Amino acid sequence: MTKLDPSHKEISYRWPFFLPDDDHFLYLIWSADPQFSGLYVSSIHSSLKKRLLSDESRVEYAPPGFLIYVHQGKLMAQSFDAKSLELKGEALPIAEKVKYEGYRRYAPFSVSQNQVLTYVSGSTANAQLEWFDRSGKQISTIGEAAIFAQPSLSPDGTKLIAERMDSTPVKGISTL
């Protein structure tokens, strides 16, 4: 659907994410020329290639209309009209000290379609997975502390799956 543009010194396209219309998608373009790196929107049915933000991060769309991405170690929410493909207003920080793997331009977070968010904070050290309610109150913990990557929430926001970066066997399944 897309091809690297040598005239823009594009290195790779990463982290595609479909918008609700199943035609447009968000993704990161990583370029050797910073003026071309950033978060873009494209279409599988046209040649559209529109730069939305200069940030180099994963990006996801969260209903009813926000882009979620990392900017300078903060998880940000930027109002976005998925029909006009336009940003609106200013981006707002929604979490501090979010893990970001600069060499991959990767931030481990996920948003479900019913507005539940998960993310990894801090460094690559062991982390304890925890469930929180919308007010920020801890509800429970999940398993033992470990190094986790690529969290993903189920569509209904009640289950979490993540890559565990050690050889310890998983001892159970936890749901909200």
pLDDT in tens, 23-36: 999 999 999 999 99
Give the neighbor-by-neighbor strand order of the sheet with 59-62.
59-62, 66-71, 74-81, 86-95
108 has pLDDT over 90: no
The model's pTM = 0.69
Across 120-133, average pLDDT: 76
**Is residue 148 predicted with pLDDT exceeding 80?**
no
Task: Pick 100 or 17 by higher pLDDT.
Answer: 17
CB atoms within 10 A of CB 143: 16
- pLDDT reported for residue 131: 86
pLDDT confidence band for 118 (50 / 70 / 90): confident
Say what the pLDDT of residue 125 is.
61
Residue 142 makes CB contacts below 8 A (sequence gap 6+) with 128, 129, 130, 131, 160, 174
| Mean pLDDT for the chain overall | 86
